[in-house]
Amino acid sequence: MNAAPALSDENYSYHGDTRWQTNMSAAQATAVAEDKPIVVYFWTTWCTYCEDYNREVYADPAVQSELDDFVKVAVNLDSDEPSASRLQRTYNVNYPPQHVIVTPDGEVLVRINGYAETSDFRSYLEAGKREYGAR
């Protein structure tokens, strides 16, 4: 399997039916402007669980609806971009897939290590929204 997004361009990558920004600084600016938390998705092209996210979790309409309440950023851990390495270190990501839900200024609210089934993933997203709203 290949977890590479179906489409990508300089500013976005597409995982399943979901469009993710690829620039954390731009995502933070959007999150501030829209008063939303950020979900950062760390993935690789060789990660079979990342492919499961693309095929099963992100394709779920309820997950797509939940994700609309977030600014989404995808970080390709295969990338040579300095920003990918910096974010990997900042959020202590050792393996894919991982999701980190953060405030616009980078404070970690919720961490999703590894693969989460659709219902569990939705619960994590809901917890992230609650934590963000409680600030």
Asked if residue 40 is part of any domain, the answer here is: yes
Asked if residue 31 is part of any domain, the answer here is: yes
Asked if residue 86 is part of any domain, the answer here is: yes
Asked if residue 6 is part of any domain, the answer here is: no
Task: Please report, for the domain that includes residue 59, its CATH number.
Answer: 3.40.30.10
Please tell me the total count of domains within the chain: 1
3-class secondary-structure state, position 45: coil
Which residue segment(s) compose the domain that 20 sits in? 12-117
Rounded to whole angstroms, the Cα distance separating 97 from 47 reads 7
pTM assigned to the model? 0.90
CB–CB of 98/92 below 8 Å? no
Asked if residue 128 is part of any domain, the answer here is: no
Amino acid at 123: S
Strand ranges across the sheet with 12-15: 12-15, 18-21, 71-76, 38-43, 98-102, 108-113
Asked if residue 35 is part of any domain, the answer here is: yes
Asked if residue 32 is part of any domain, the answer here is: yes
Residues 47-98 have pLDDT tens digits of 999 999 999 999 999 999 999 999 999 999 998 788 999 999 999 999 999 9
